[in-house]
Amino acid sequence: MESQPVTVSPDCPLREVLLLMNERRIGSVLVTDSERRLLGIFTERDLLRRIVAAPSDWLCHPVSEWMTPHPHTIGPDLDWEEAIVRMERLRVRHLPVVENGVVVGIISTRLLMARRTDYLHRQVEARTRALKQLNDELLARDAELRHNLKAAARFQTRLLLPSEPPTWPELSWGIHYAPLDHLGGDYYDVARPDPNHLGFLIADASGHSIAAMMVAIISRIAFSEVAPTTISPGQVLAAMNERLQNLADDRFVTAFYGVLDRSTGQLTFANAGHPSPLHFVAAIGEVKLLRATGFMLGIMPGEQFREKCVQLGAGDRLVFYTDGLIEARNEIGETYGMERLKDCLQRHGYESPDFLCRAILEDQRRFCGQQPLQDDLTLVVTAYTGQPR
């Protein structure tokens, strides 16, 4: 409230009252006696209501003739929100504040609007500060999460991927590994069950990010326990399948595992629901699929994986990949697909593994245009130069 309201005596001329209101820029004055007891209120509304029929000497009349006597009043302890409600209900713009019969202040719509505006400003400032604090906390948590994800990604790379491809002189490699997020479910690995055999695994745990990474780690541990003990790809996949039962929840792992006999150049392989690798036969310039059937890992207990064999010749290329390569889509929803991958290999099959790897990825990027990838992508190209001497 305004604690020092303008008051006038009942015999004060209207001329002086109006000059006072204009000077103070107020819309009302309180009419009180000598002991500040409220007698009435004079407002702009009182002036407008009477001035039409006023006599010519009206400015000399006392304010008591034009005031509203016995106006509505409120006590000093009334909440300002309730004061607004009271003023709206009574349809008045000014409410004198009276305590023990004595005027102690006045409430006006202008004052209440200013108070409400100030209150709303304070509320906005308080909520802005609270939101800023929450935003700062979220940014800090996000930064911590991103830091942890990057650390986990480095850990995943060291744990899931070989430090370098096998260094056999009859093999050369081109490798591209790109998880969709910091973490992914793709991985590849090698095993040397004996000096004459080299095993290569490529696998894909369903989904991506943290959950897929954890399943991939479980799968990789199972592989590292079994692969060094046998040259049979089917036995390795079967053992991995058993170890993954009831460990991956509703997730699964697809995998292709091949074992090369360096003394003969024969590749024995088995497949657990993974996209079939491609074999570029250099002697005839044709692309063939390394087809083998088998169910995904971690789903069906007791699954057996049938083995197939293929003879590699000098200059042959093998292309291993995850479904993030062939299932990438362009802007109208078409997938890159197996046929486009085969055509690209057909065109560049005699190139080096590094060149061929880059050519396949560039061919996929041209096909997808601006459409972002939706899955992890791993591509491994191997060139076989022939049996070692």
Contact 16, 29 (CB under 8 A): no
Q: How far is CA 348 from CA 113, 125, 286, in A?
A: 78, 64, 11
DSSP state for residue 184 in the 8-state scheme: -
Query: Which of the following CATH numbers is that of domain 161-384: 3.20.20.140, 1.10.10.10, 1.20.140.10, 3.60.40.10?
Result: 3.60.40.10
pLDDT at res. 3: 81
pLDDT at res. 209: 65
- The residue ranges of every structural domain in the chain are 7-114, 161-384
pLDDT at res. 373: 84
pLDDT at res. 248: 53
pLDDT at res. 219: 87
pLDDT at res. 135: 85
- Give the whole-angstrom CA distance, residue 166 versus residue 179: 22
Helices (H), 109-264: 109-160, 209-226, 233-244
Burial of 219 (0-12, 13-18, 19+ CB in 10 A): buried
pLDDT at res. 16: 94
How is domain 7-114 classified at the CATH fold level?
CBS-domain (3.10.580)
Consecutive 10-residue averages of pLDDT for the chain (389 residues): 88 94 91 93 90 90 93 88 86 90 88 76 88 82 62 54 76 89 79 94 81 81 93 96 77 93 96 97 96 92 95 97 93 94 96 96 94 88 83
- Give the whole-angstrom CA distance, residue 190 versus residue 212: 20
Count other C-beta atoms under 10 Å from residue 79's C-beta. 8
Count other C-beta atoms under 10 Å from residue 317's C-beta. 25
pLDDT at res. 158: 55
